[in-house]
Structure 1
């Protein structure tokens, strides 16, 4: 009996001593090089590496919640997410007040893509459907969608948007520039897609839940150190082969 009680005490002590995990959100619409999902679990990618490194340096295990984009705001409001990365303030109009922004960590360019190489000005596009990601916001194009000059043709992920463009479902689509570059590597040169216009350039960071159970300031300091040391830029270069666009960490 004493042996059993002793074993139970040791298990309870171990569980009490184990640090609580950091809960990270992962959008199921992300694609490589941002994140690769295998069986619904993130296994590699820029954001995966950043989040795992952050959790390791803070001394917490990383736990990932893979959610549809439309469910992220609700999960945040219920305190189910401690850290949400790869966000811009222009994208989030419904962020709960109990989250704090990190410094900008990376620059993302949203580009207009076509099967044809000729550059184009977006305001000169004829009325037509454009490939977009379900529940994604495109602040600079929202007025064109609102007045009907352009319409959205939504897919669940950025990779699906590009697949539909290749299949001829529409003439133009919107995507992250890094995802476009990665997608093109899978195509024969003659069939590769073309960046025909830069739509917007966003400075992206993370938001951290303000709660006594979350080491908010340690997380924010660690993200700042990861940016200043060049760690985040090195992760981006590992997956893209490109030097990350410059972004000041104290912007």
Structure 2
């Protein structure tokens, strides 16, 4: 009995000593990151995702669940396969090609798809106005509902690029005359890493939901992942993270009946500072301003990239001699929108969210 009494406690002590070590092992959230994603969603360094909104979001999800994170960069076609097999627990910011590959998380926000073109192209007012057979660049694996029927019946040709960045660079070289990407990506490249050769016009193609896909076979239980994402959204954490990477864009617009199709930043600045009256085609756009301080400041900072003081001094000099009057100031964005709709010769600026089919985007930073 004494020998047995000695063996049993020893085994118990050995097992008890192993349990705390196992309990201390922290589970890992495995996140598949599509190599087709671009800034501001994913920032890459040495082929590894190191920053951007997507990376911050999955880290916040992992923190919510008290998990470590492992980022798995994969070619776009392999992302859904990894989710379906359980080799990855989560993937964000992709349009699923297979409905059975993963469970959809909640829609966190909407991103605006934009059609843009090489600088030699004219701005269309709808995709149907593109020349038949035109090649349109798209990011690998990304579907665009507004264009899919035109691709299917052959009126337009899809030219897939491995990423949005490669799409934009091919567009700048006129490898394809048109391309489609999300507004945050386009604005990031035009402001952070400018790409020469792109036309200033943009055409809205509708919004696309941003969500994460959750593996039903992953190591982390799907319902826990979805619940964590919903909690982050309810607490406002998702919008807080998004605001750190994406700002609400300000578009320069004209009436759809205006002859103006596109305008460069330099020409736009000259018009709003009163340094130019007529364009090369002989037209004379009539600028209008808003008296809303926040939108006015954003226009100077992100569109003209000039201080408000320069605008005031430029017009003060011209008004002193009675030569010209400064642009009229209207009471807010809705007033500007109404003015532009009624005056084909006017040009103004609006938050992109207020631009509809009655207006044409001639410049978007």
TM-score bracket, normalised by the shorter chain, equals 0.7 to 0.9
TM-score (normalizing by structure 2): 0.58
SS of corresponding position for 1:120: coil
Of 93, 99, 102 in structure 2, the residue corresponding to residue 86 of structure 1 is 93
Please state how far the C-alpha of 1:242 moved relative to its aligned partner: 2.6
Q: What is the rounded CA distance, in whole Å, between the counterparts of 1:193 and 1:224 in structure 2?
A: 39
Is 1:102 aligned to residue 105 of structure 2? yes
Matched, 1:60 2:67: yes
Cα contact 1:184–1:193 (8 A) shared by 2: no
The whole-number CA distance in structure 2 between the counterparts of 1:191 and 1:10 is 66
Deviates more, 1:53-62 or 1:14-23: 14-23
> Which protein is bigger by CA-based radius of gyration?
2
How far apart, in 2, do the equivalents of 1:82 and 1:131 lie? Answer: 30
Unaligned runs of 5+ in 1: 1-8, 247-251
Equivalent of 1:232, from 238, 244, 248? 238
Mind listing any 5+ residue stretches in structure 2 that lack a counterpart? Answer: 1-15, 250-351, 354-365
| 1:118 maps onto 2:123 in alignment | yes
**Aligned residues, how many?**
234
Q: Deviations over 1:39-79 (max 9, x none)?
A: 22211101000001110111000111111111122212211
> Structure 1 length normalisation: TM-score?
0.82
Alignment partner of 1:48 out of 55, 63, 76:
55
Shift of the alpha carbon at 1:34? 0.5
Q: Indicate how the Cα distance of structure 1 residues 157 and 11 shifts in structure 2: closer, same or farther if over 3 A, else same.
A: farther
**Aligned equivalents of 1:216, 1:183: Cα separation in 2:** 35
2:41 aligned residue? 34
Give the superposition deviation at 1:240.
Answer: 2.0
8 Å contact kept, 2:34–2:73: yes
Partner of 1:4: none
Residue in structure 1 matched with residue 166 of structure 2 by the alignment: 160
> 1:113 Cα shift?
0.8
